[in-house]
Structure 1
Amino acid sequence: MTSRRSLPWFPILIVVLTAIALVAVGMREEMERNFKGWLMSAIPLLASILLFLWFLITPRFSWKTRLIGLFLVIATGVAAKQLVRVDGVIDGRGLPRFAWRWSTKAQPATAPLKVDDPNTTAPKDDPRLASAADVPQFFGPNRDGLAPEIKLATDWTATPPKELWRQPIGPAWSAYAVVGGRAITQEQRGEDEAVTCYELLTGRLLWAHVDKAHFSQWQGGEGPRGTPMVDKDRVYTFGATGILNCLDLATGKPHWQRRILDENKLANIEWGLSASPLVVNDLVIVSSGRPNGDAQPPLLLAFKIADGTDAWRSGEGEASYSSPMLATLAGKQVILYQGARGLTAHDPATGSILLTHPWGDEKWPRASQPVVVPGDRVFLSAGYGMGCCMLQIKAEADGKLTATELWASLKMKTQFNSTALKDNHLYGLDDGRLTCLDLATGDRLWKEGRFASGQTLLAGDLVIVQSEPGPVHLCAADPAGFKELGKLAALDAKTWNHPVLAGRYLLVRNDREAVCYELPVK
């Protein structure tokens, strides 16, 4: 009489636990999709490793069968290493994209930049420029996520946006600064980090400035991250490797240059320096890097716009991926910056620190801008499990500022996105979905759509959403509920760049292509 084998309880248990774990992770509403993505990949991988170890040691199979299995797994691993390469990431979750080693990479615009007519560096006279508006810096004219005032038509079916031009562009996550019919951005052209000035209405290259510099990181890609700032007749740019340029707006010729990391013997931050320069009075301010040894770097650096000489350095600690911004709080003009450790406020003239408010986890990046809220309040948000909070700012007798947390939640988890304020509500992407947040309580009124690691911009009572896959969506900024009013194919590849609305002209780009639309107005 033969004995029956018992059921293989260990692999059954592993499979059941794996299924339970996947369901549990999927049901965590406030867990961010990047964490979910990694966990959803890691759980089956761990289960596979445990099942394979069980296969190697269980007496249920002969030693020959187990040796053959071990050989096949090793051979598969060796073959995969030879046949497959990592080709960046799938999306903002940071999961690697795999491709065959012989497959062709998407080729960015790496050809040398050529100006059609070096003697013509000014935009041509065009009556359509009367309906353009200046956006001289990152995230709107005032760095608050609000586009210049314009009444856009919302029926894109009846009156669709008109494509003015479309052309290849070098890799970068920069946006555009638009002034006087010029659209200025940054891009990588081979081994050159370039500042490029295009004619707004035609896309014609007016001038280009190049530096030998090249930043690349397997998750974040290559090229600059910051957006130029225009002040009067000068353009200020900050590259991914720490090159701060002051260029002539009309011609692109350099006035001066500083190399932040080299001069201060600092290391770059993981995904490259990303701050956009801020001009305040006679100074230009940028963030620093990270320690290259025991010494702590300054948090912010200020230079005189006249000649680029040092003005002040302020704070201590590692930079992050947001940009300094000018604000008025408790009657004081300050520079706000969200670094790796939290929020700081600096005196614009001297750099003196007026406020230090630790917040979040310094292990994770912060790319979101603070939002200054009426009543001397500041809204902070970030991704990677940090969520958001509202701070009440007060002035002390010694001239310093203090911050008291009014509320905190996980109801707005911005990753690369920053929120913007309309009336008593904040609009932004909570883990890739457009969300309206009540300003007073932090309650989430609605959360809809799926835009992944995209960007948002408020234009009156509308939200322009640049989705990560490339399409642009027009939505209502309405606390009563989510409404999508229009959609534009625009781009068709991973897009982390901020959209820019200069009057009725919408500029969008990614690391491959740039396009300009003329939007219908009421």
Structure 2
Amino acid sequence: VGANTDADWPGFRGPERDGIVHGVRITTDWSASPPVEMWRRSIGPGWSSFAVRGDLLYTQEQRGDDEIVGCYKVSTGEPVWRHRDAVRFWESNGGAGPRATPTLSDGRVYTLGATGLVNALDARDGSVIWSRNAASDTGMKVPDWGFASSPLVIDDLVVIAASGQLVAYDVRTGHPRWFGPPEGGGYSSPHRMMIDGVDQILLLRGRRTTSVAPVDGTVLWEHSWQPAVSIVQPTFAANGDVLIAAGDAMGGMGVRRISVAHGSAGWTVEERWTSRGLKPYFNDFVVHNGLAFGFDGNILACIDLEDGTRKWKGGRYGNGQLVLLADQDLLLVLSEDGELALVGATPDQFREVARFPVLDGKTWNHPVLVRDVLLVRNDHEMVAFRVSLANR
């Protein structure tokens, strides 16, 4: 259900927004074959990740008083073009810069800035196709940590979350086509799912998870949960159930599995279980082989999706991020201190198989692996590494 794109990594957390890399197996003996640095480049602050197509990567950053959408060469790190908007966002916890990740679709790059600017740019040269301000379009004020939703392209719409309110723009003109319910807040991105054959957009917002129809924003179903801060993405559990997470201003509160079904009487949503064995805050989790892997505070953890019980907990990575290499049951973890680690994505025990330093300083950005190129960044530099691929 990815966007209309031939991109290698079309945006936030990949084609399905689930943080899963398919079709790649890497060498795990980094003492013998460590990642090889291709290039390292200074970059402006921001917590954006990367979108990648061919030899071009796209990310967002702050340079002085300008918010930047930047295009760089994957092979060399050389800048190709930069789009500038004369806005600056800063707050004391996360610092300056944009929070969202660009989205590639049909030769365009779509972005949401920290103050609410929505851009549709030509991916080749950065020229502006259209631009909007989601804050003024929705009347939502800039949240404490800035607008953080990465755009979602569905058919002829680009959908963003202005804090807790969805707004869908026409991809051709930028004209707003529909608005979702306005109450609630949050930092999660809109997430496309197919449930019981019905295409829908999910958003974690404030104390509730809301599903709407992509065509017009009609609310299909909602589920309420007391914790008030929504940051991470929902994901599928087994049998089409949905796994959601929530927290408060101090950290993650746990995860919940809900059963969503559509029948003659309409939509039904039931809580299957709630677990504190995994408490992600702003660190997204992944689902693999009936398990969920993610952060319990600053320690990695694994829970069983059958009942939410914890299988293991281990390794201190701070507020890191991760992706799953599904073909080899392997987590690639980027710690808050800028270290890469390889951890087994299996239920038996916590097992770190390799570790390698890549960045200095606070690192909250999601890593991206495209074939044998690993891209990482934080608030002041980005680096590309060549990793050795494993024989199948």
TM surpasses 0.5? yes
Aligned to 1:260: 134
| 1:415-494 equivalence runs, <5 A | 415-460=281-326, 461-494=329-362
CA distance in 2, matches of 1:345, 1:266: 20
Q: Do 1:162 and 1:517's aligned partners in 2 also have CA atoms closer than 8 Å?
A: yes
Aligned length, in residue pairs? 380
Q: Do 2:169 and 2:176's aligned partners in 1 also have CA atoms closer than 8 Å?
A: yes
1:379-401 alpha-carbon deviations (Å, 9 max, x no partner): 11134352111000111325x42
1:225-259 alpha-carbon deviations (Å, 9 max, x no partner): 00000001000000000000000011110100001
Q: Larger RCO: Structure 1 or Structure 2 (Cα < 8 Å, ≥ 6 residues apart)?
A: 2
CA distance in 2, matches of 1:252, 1:438: 45
| Structure 2 unaligned residues grouped into runs of 5+ | 1-5
Aligned to 2:227: 361
1:287 aligns with 2:161: yes
Instruction: Point out the structure with the larger strand share.
Output: 2
Structure 2 letter corresponding to 1:437: I
Aligned to 2:182: 316
Aligned to 1:247: 121
CA distance in 1, matches of 2:196, 2:83: 41
Q: Do 1:288 and 1:318's aligned partners in 2 also have CA atoms closer than 8 Å?
A: no
1:467-519 alpha-carbon deviations (Å, 9 max, x no partner): 00111111111111111111111012001111111111111100011101111
Q: Do 1:429 and 1:456's aligned partners in 2 also have CA atoms closer than 8 Å?
A: no
Pick aligned residue for 1:377 from 241, 251, 262:
241
Aligned to 1:495: 363
Q: Do 1:170 and 1:188's aligned partners in 2 also have CA atoms closer than 8 Å?
A: yes
CA distance in 2, matches of 1:382, 1:438: 18
SS at match of 1:375: helix
SS at match of 2:21: coil
Deviation at 1:317, TM superposition (A): 1.0
| 1:165-176 equivalence runs, <5 A | 165-176=39-50
Aligned CA RMSD, in angstroms, stands at 1.4
Deviation at 1:133, TM superposition (A): 7.5
CA distance in 2, matches of 1:483, 1:133: 33
1:348 aligns with 2:222: no
CA distance in 2, matches of 1:257, 1:133: 22
Deviation at 1:436, TM superposition (A): 1.1
1:270 aligns with 2:138: no
CA distance in 2, matches of 1:353, 1:402: 13
CA distance in 2, matches of 1:462, 1:419: 13
Pick aligned residue for 1:394 from 261, 264, 277:
261
1:353-388 alpha-carbon deviations (Å, 9 max, x no partner): 1011111322xx321110112312001113435211
1:161 aligns with 2:35: yes
Structure 1 letter corresponding to 2:261: K
Pick aligned residue for 1:338 from 196, 200, 204:
204
TM, length-normalised to structure 1: 0.71
Structure 1 vs Structure 2: percent identity of aligned residues? 39
TM, length-normalised to structure 2: 0.94
Greater Rg over alpha carbons, structure:
1
Structure 2 letter corresponding to 1:375: N
Instruction: Point out the structure with the larger helix share.
Output: 1
Q: Do 1:148 and 1:501's aligned partners in 2 also have CA atoms closer than 8 Å?
A: no
Pick aligned residue for 1:191 from 65, 90, 96:
65
SS at match of 2:135: helix
